[in-house]
């Protein structure tokens, strides 16, 4: 059984096989505006549905990237030393003030602890924007998690648009549960360019990956998101082949997948 609690934004508490894993910690209160670099910024609109002190013990943090506050804010950063392991991008591991393991896409590590099955974590490719945007948007990875007895991988897409790297994930990894970072992010300074998956792209990746369950995250709580749940539901209305796999998690409430 996989139990997930959506804290808000990209932050998800995953409880599986005796492990307690947290993705992209964001726990700052709402109201502050954060600069993302190169003339881009956004305001946090809602706070976390679970306070850091109420999370309980953490075995690991899976950090898709450290350099944008909507994926790692100040209170989230303060939480990192409490995690047994922090896994992130190779460049992010060099920047963080805690000991972290940095992975390039398709590199694998194992989370091991007595009395529970090891989890194999494979970094999956992301492109956080249009072609050639990596020098501006920075490095991002997703994570595919597998363990003994799992029906398939638990895949966390990370902040990415649909591109060849995600299609490669669909070819290489059998996915049981897909956690999709959505939102269709845009900024006024870059016009129509997108920096995360749109609803239409979400439907396409679901058709490629065919997960048993798909969990949307990172579509609410910030001003730079241009597509929320209503947009995704509208796209899914025309995709009966995949819409039944989508599970919207209530914020702050554990859900068994």
pLDDT in tens, 24-82: 999 999 999 999 988 899 999 999 999 999 999 999 999 999 999 999 999 999 999 99
Residue 254 counted as domain residue: no
| Model pLDDT, residue 237 | 97
How many Å separate Cα 112 from the centre of its chain?
A: 22
For residue 137 the two structure tokens come to 């948007």
* C-alpha distances out from residue 114 to 103, 154, 191, Å: 24, 22, 51
CA distance 216 to 6: 10
CATH number at residue 154: 3.60.15.10
- Residue-wise pLDDT for 149-200, tens only, equals 999 999 999 999 999 999 999 999 999 999 999 999 999 999 999 999 999 9
Domain-embedded: residue 141:
yes
At residue 75, the pLDDT reads 98
pLDDT exceeds 90 at position 135? no
Read off the tokens for 45.
Answer: 């609109």
First CA to last CA distance, the chain: 7
- Predicted confidence band of residue 229 (pLDDT cuts 50, 70, 90): very high
- What mean pLDDT is predicted for residues 224-252? 97
Q: Tell me, yes or no, whether 96 lies in a domain.
A: yes
List, for residues 70-102, the tens digit of each pLDDT value. 999 999 999 999 998 999 999 999 999 999 999
Which two three-digit tokens encode residue 106?
Answer: 């398709």
- Is residue 257 a part of any domain in this protein? no
Residues 41 and 68: their CA atoms lie apart, in Å, by: 10
255 domain-assigned = no
Query: What is the reported pLDDT for 38?
Result: 83
What pLDDT does 25 receive?
A: 98
Residue span of the structural domain in which 38 resides: 2-248
Domain count, the chain: 1
**What pTM was estimated for this model as a whole?**
0.97
What does the chain come to in residues? 257
């Amino acid at each position: 059984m996989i139990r997930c609690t959506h804290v808000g934004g990209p932050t998800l508490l995953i409880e599986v096989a005796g492990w307690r894993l947290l993705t992209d910690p964001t726990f700052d209160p709402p109201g502050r505006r954060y600069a993302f670099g190169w003339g881009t910024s956004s305001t946090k609109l809602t706070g976390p549905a679970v306070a850091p002190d109420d999370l309980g013990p953490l075995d690991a943090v899976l950090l898709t990237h450290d350099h944008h506050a909507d994926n790692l804010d100040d209170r989230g950063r303060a939480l990192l030393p409490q995690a047994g392991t922090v896994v992130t991008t190779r460049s992010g591991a060099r920047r963080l003030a805690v000991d972290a393991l940095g992975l390039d896409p398709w590199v694998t590590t194992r989370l091991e602890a007595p009395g529970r099955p090891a989890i194999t974590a494979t970094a999956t490719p992301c492109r956080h924007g249009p072609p050639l945007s990596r020098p501006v948007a920075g490095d991002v990875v997703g994570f595919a998690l597998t363990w003994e007895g799992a029906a398939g991988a638990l895949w966390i897409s990370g902040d990415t648009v649909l591109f060849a790297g995600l299609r490669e994930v669909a070819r290489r990894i059998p996915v049981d549960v897909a956690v999709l970072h959505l939102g269709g992010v845009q900024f006024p300074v870059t016009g129509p360019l997108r920096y995360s998956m749109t609803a239409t792209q979400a439907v396409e990746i679901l058709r490629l990956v065919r997960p048993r369950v798909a969990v949307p995250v990172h579509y609410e709580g910030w001003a730079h998101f241009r597509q929320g749940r209503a947009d995704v539901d509208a796209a899914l209305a025309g995709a009966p082949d995949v819409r039944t796999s989508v599970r919207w998690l209530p914020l702050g409430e554990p859900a068994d997948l």
